[in-house]
Structure 1
Amino acid sequence: MSDQAPAALAPAHDAPKVRLGTLTSAEAAARLAAGATVLLPLGSHEDQGPHAPMGDYLSAERISEMIAGRAIGQGHDTLVAPVLPFGGRDFFGSRPGGMALEQSTLRLVLRDMLDGLLRHDFTRLIVVNGHGGNAQAIHDVTQAVLLERGVLIPSFYLWKIAGGLLPELLDPVQARASAGHGADPLASVAMHLFPELMRPDLIPSSPPLPRSVAGLFVSGFGTARFEGVEIGLPIELGDDAVTGDASLCSAETGALITERLVSLGAAFIAHLTNHMAWQDLDG
């Protein structure tokens, strides 16, 4: 009897794997040594409103995989590291079900993640960020890597980029009304990528009225207004988890946002690869 598996049962190798966790160590070593880019998706697990899944890391991971697939199709091998699902602690701790890392912990975890690749001289790394509370830790850790090792690690902040694209993709009036936590861009993206996880029946009919703290109207995450200027307040989010009009969000808008993010992400990988900006900081 032959020891070889029947052809029908042999594993298919036509489509390259994009998730680093699905590669064997031999496959990973070969592709990384050949210059594959590694995306490190970061997200959070927090209140996204009563209508959307708390794990917005799901979108960061899926979009990273789509970026990798697009980049591979354009001739630039790309892999996606396992997503870090817990974001840096910021304004959402008071909401039930959320799980977050202290900022000091996030810095240590992110540095360990990067060092696991850097120790083998795999330096083509991009952080794909899906949470505002991660931004400062990402900056601090990647700046330390640059100063210590001379390795430039860019950060591709999905929702900041997407927020800037809304006026381009939507009617400007709608873009202003739908933008906010629990609304665009995240809600529309989730409607597109994970419609089965959404609860459209729970979408708030309108954003809540601004709450007041110490006689000051809360104007944003950790901010309030006083005589026309913005004041910082060390407060967490209350019951007003939805700050935009989520009723204006749609899977169609999510598809537009996702396509632009994937296109930009793949183009960014191509740009850095072609200019060798990973190591040549003066290029």
Structure 2
Amino acid sequence: MSMIKWSKELSIWSGKLSNVGLTVPNAINITLNETQKFQTIIGFGGAFTDAAGINLAKLSPGAQQNLIRSYYGPEGIGYTLGRTPMASCDFSAREYSYDDVDGDFNLTNFALTQEDYIYKVYSDPDAYKIVDGLAIHWYADQSTSDIVDPYHLTDAHNAYPDKFLLYTEVLQHWVTGWTDWNICLDPQGGPNWVNNWCDSPIIVSNTTDEFEKQPMYYGLGHFAKFIVPDSVIIGLNFEGNTNQTNLEAIAALNPSGQKVVVLNNRDVASTYQISVINKQGSALNLAIEPRSFTTIVWSE
């Protein structure tokens, strides 16, 4: 059994663990249910926005290759998907659209709505055949939202189980992958024509032929590097001291037969004691530090 850990101090290490045995008192016990299988993962990736292209172009060819390999190369964090916007987005140097009617600034002829995709396309037998899946944005993904509840994704899967669900920016409710936003930005968080500056996993220098990998780069790697394409999400149960609600976890079986558990401690102060129990009854006992990711990979 091996473990990869990333914390707010950027400590990263891997190796064989010896603290396998009985569970410890007051721990959160995590057991996997391999018979409860959910979605098969398509992959993870990032967005090739105009801003990402502008920043990539500032680098030398060698640095450009190193940046792309940091995401998509064998020594990178395991990205396999790429996302490109249709027409301009906020991360463009200027505004432009694909509305074919000249001067239609009110977008009177722009008629693509949520209903067009979900209901009309899927209800048309011919269109249904050529649609592979449904992409969802996470901004309104709150149980209290008046716009969308994440449980509706389960409803969508039940209605159209042969179509994938992909987050275009979370792996519950049958979602099969994730594409993050800009793969790189400048130190200001742009360019962005509406001044909506944002962070990015990689920041490209304005003055030198360099780029910097940010903490979120390593956080994304916990998922993309180990929950590889064709992995299957499986059931995971919390038992014992389950009052610590800031702990999140997901489990998967990857194509090589290894089991993967990714743990995220969102608490800003508390360290959680965890016991991950295998089907033989042995437990891996470890402490999950505040604001950290921990990934466990093992074979049985």
TM (norm. structure 1) is 0.30
Higher relative contact order (CA 8 A, sep 6+): 2
More helix by share: 1
TM (norm. structure 2) is 0.29
